Chain A
Amino acid sequence: MEPPSKYLYYPGCSLKGTGIAYEESLLTTLRLLELPVEELSDWNCCGATTYMSVSERSATLLAARNLALARQTGSKHLLAPCNACYLTLRKSQKLVSEYPQVAQQVEQYLQQAGLPSLDSVQVRHPLEVLYNDVGLQRLRELTVRRLQGVRMASYYGCQAVRPYGEVDDPRDPKRMDEILKAVGVDVVDYNLKTKCCGGPLTGTIHDLGVRLNYILLKEAVRQGAQAIVTICPLCQFNLDAYQTEIRKHTGEPFDMPILYLTQVVGWALGGDFHELGLHRAISGKKLIERWFTVKKEAETYV
Chain B
Amino acid sequence: MERQIRYQREADLEWAQQFPKHPGCERLLSCIQCGTCSGTCPLSIYMDLTPRQVIALVREGFREDVLRSKTIWLCASCYACSVECPQKVGITDLMYRLKREAIRNNLYPARFPIPVLAREFCELVRRKGRNSEFWVVVRMALRSNPLVLLQLVRVGWDLWRTGRLSVRMERIRRVKELQYLPTASKEVD
Select from chain B the residue with minimum beta-carbon distance to A49.
B77
Does A58 touch B at the CB level, under 8 Å? yes
- Which of B30-38, B51-59, B60-68, B152-160 binds A? B152-160
B63-100 CB mask vs A (1 if < 8 Å, else 0) is: 00000000000101111101100000000000011011
Asked whether A62 lies within 8 Å of B148 as measured between CB atoms, the reply is no
Q: Quick check: is A136 within 8 A (CB to CB) of the other chain?
A: no
In chain A, what residue has the closest Cβ to B114? A204
User: Is A280's beta carbon under 8 Å from chain B?
Assistant: yes
Q: How far is the CA of A99 from the CA of B25 in the complex (A)?
A: 13
Task: Give chain B residues whose Cβ lies under 8 Å from the Cβ of A42.
Answer: 172-174
Q: Which of B42, B103, B152 contacts A203 (CB 8 A)?
A: B152
B122, A282: Cβ atoms under 8 Å?
no
Cβ–Cβ contact B129 & A44, under 8 A = yes
When each residue 124-159 of chain B gets 1 if its CB lies under 8 Å from chain A and 0 otherwise, what string results? 011001111110010010001000100110110011
A45 contacts which of B79, B125, B152 (Cβ < 8 Å)?
A: B125
Closest chain B residue to A53 by CB distance? B99
Q: Tell me how far the C-beta of B113 lies from the nearest C-beta in chain A, rounded to whole angstroms.
A: 4
Q: Which chain B residues lie closer than 8 Å to A62 at the CB level?
A: 125, 181
Q: Are B133 and A50 in contact (CB-based, < 8 A)?
A: no
Residues of A within 8 A of B100 (CB): 53-56
The answer on a CB contact under 8 Å between A205 and B113 is yes
Contact of B164 among A17, A56, A195 (CB under 8 A): A17
Chain B nearest CB: distance from A289 CB in Å?
A: 14
Contact A50/B162 with A44-B129, A55-B182, A242-B155 known, Cβ cut-off 8 Å: no
The B contact surface, by secondary structure, is helix
A82-93 interface mask toward B, CB cutoff 8 Å, 1 = contact, 0 = none? 000001000000
Stretch at the interface among A109-117, A142-150, A251-259, A264-272: A109-117
B148 close to A206 (CB less than 8 A): yes
Verify A212–B42 contact, CB threshold 8 A: yes
A282, B174: Cβ atoms closer than 8 Å:
no
Judge if A16 is at the interface, Cβ distance under 8 Å: yes
The digit string for A23-66, where 1 denotes a CB below 8 A from any CB of B, is: 00000000000000000001111011111111111100110010
Q: How far is the CB of B23 from chain A (nearest CB, A)?
A: 5
Contact, CB under 8 Å: A18 / B165: yes
Among A50, A61, A98, A208, the residue within 8 A (CB) of B121 is A50
Within 8 A of B (CB), among A188-243: 194-196, 198-201, 203-206, 208, 212, 241-242
Residues in A whose Cβ lies below 8 Å from that of B174: 42
User: Looking across the interface, which residue of chain B has its beta carbon closest to that of A211?
Assistant: B46
Q: Mark B149-189 against chain A: 1 for CB-CB distance below 8 A, else 0.
A: 00110110011001111100010111001101110100001
Query: Which one of A14, A21, A42 has the highest number of Cβ atoms from chain B below 10 Å of its Cβ?
Result: A42
Q: How far is the CB of A69 from chain B (nearest CB, A)?
A: 10
Could you tell me the distance between the alpha carbons of A35 and B126 in the complex, rounded to whole angstroms? 34
Q: Which residue of B lies closest to A65 (CB)?
A: B177
Q: Residue A290 at the B interface, CB < 8 A?
A: no
Q: Which 8 A-B pairs have the closest CB atoms?
A: A158-B78, A196-B78, A162-B79, A53-B99, A44-B129, A204-B113, A113-B177, A112-B180
Instruction: Give the B-binding residues of A (Cβ under 8 A).
Output: 13-14, 16-21, 42-45, 47-58, 61-62, 65, 87, 95, 98-99, 102, 109, 112-115, 158-159, 162-163, 170-171, 194-196, 198-201, 203-206, 208, 212, 241-242, 244-245, 279-282
11 CB contacts below 8 A, A to B, read A45-B125, A53-B99, A53-B115, A56-B23, A56-B100, A196-B76, A200-B114, A203-B113, A203-B117, A279-B162, A280-B164
